[in-house]
Structure 1
Amino acid sequence: MTVTLERPVSATDALALVAPEVADRLVRRITADHPDITRMTARRIVGQAAAFIAASGQQPGQSLAPSKLVDCGWHAFILHTVDYAAFCQRVVGRFVHHVPTGEDESLPGGAQATRERTLAAIAAAGYTIDDELWGATGECSQCHAGCTDSPNSGKK
């Protein structure tokens, strides 16, 4: 399945949506939790997490999922609840929830279709896609949004 949406003429780096002090906090959290990720890569991850959250908020119920790296950024953002809530309100107009589902549920169409759907939604929302950070969607047994930081991730 291929999802094709018309891409906006001028895509925006979603990192611009995140206040610099918030971005710095998130970069510090990502590099502390994932020592193998450099500060430069963590900054890119924050931008792609912002794009993912913004697109998810514009496409409720579409079963979008972050890649493993972008998921690191989303989880870091969620941990900073005040910053996350303010970001969601300002960018989407409402809180973008992380909604867990049952262990036996999977994303519609599988991982590849979910990746295509997610990237199409981000592009349609007008944000630049950093292809290097979208290698694969997370396979999460805990949530419909594909998070990779699940305590159940090793269980089948």
Structure 2
Amino acid sequence: MTATATPPPSTPARIPTRTGRSLVDEALFDRLATFLERENHVPRDRAERVLDQALAFLWTLGQGTDAPRTPSQDVDPGWHAFLLHTEEYDTWCLERFGFKLHHRPATGTRSRDGFTVRRTALAIADGGFDVDWTLWRKPAACNEPACCGDGGGCGGS
């Protein structure tokens, strides 16, 4: 019998993971989660999970890639909650990336398909973040009241 210290090729090595929540201080996370909870009428636990995933998404987006990235329908409201806190959002982006991550809804094409959402979630996992797969099932559509304007539903073209 031979023992091996490395997993077989078919089993990916487990790396320590981090949370999106760890990317902001607790006071900001609490303010954003409270906003999300109240504006979207969701339980606190869900607001925190959505915000955690949105922050991990933004970190991954800030690393740059030519591959399209998009949040899921469940995670998109977390990005919107942060965007609406413009001073904190701008500062966070500039301190981490040296530039602001702009929200540029797709026009003329729909990049928010299941394939792109899954590829985005996999990129988040590859970045070492915990992924709450239950929040990455559906492509994002227009999320009221912060409508993207990138398709039907909220009056976008």
1:30 to 36, 39, 42: 36
> After superposition, what is the alpha-carbon deviation per residue over 1:118-148, rounded to whole angstroms, capped at 9, x for unaligned?
01211121111011211212135xxxxxxx8
**Gap regions ≥5 residues in structure 1:** 1-5, 141-147
Matched, 1:11 2:22: no
- What secondary structure does 1:42 align onto? helix
Q: CA RMSD in A?
A: 2.2
- What secondary structure does 2:75 align onto? helix
Q: How many Å separate the matches in 1 of 2:106 and 2:72? A: 18
1:117 match: 119
> After superposition, what is the alpha-carbon deviation per residue over 1:76-121, rounded to whole angstroms, capped at 9, x for unaligned?
000001111122223333211111332x2121xx612102210121
Matched, 1:44 2:13: no
Q: Whose RCO is larger (CA < 8 A, sep 6+)?
A: 1
2:80 match: 75
1:144 match: none
Q: How many Å separate the matches in 2 of 1:21 and 1:64? A: 28
Letter of the structure 2 residue corresponding to residue 53 of structure 1: L
Q: Of the two, which has the highest radius of gyration?
A: 2
Letter of the structure 1 residue corresponding to residue 33 of structure 2: V
1:92 match: 97
| Residues 61 and 79 of structure 1, relative CA distance in 2, 3 Å threshold | farther
2:4 match: none
**What is the TM-score when the length of structure 2 is the normalising length?**
0.78
| Residues 100 and 88 of structure 1, relative CA distance in 2, 3 Å threshold | same
Q: How many residues align?
A: 140
> After superposition, what is the alpha-carbon deviation per residue over 1:38-88, rounded to whole angstroms, capped at 9, x for unaligned?
111101111101000001111344221111121110000000011111222
8 Å CA contact 2:114–2:137 kept in 1: the answer is no
Letter of the structure 1 residue corresponding to residue 56 of structure 2: A
Q: Which runs of 4+ in 1 moved over 6 A?
A: none
**Gap regions ≥5 residues in structure 2:** 1-11
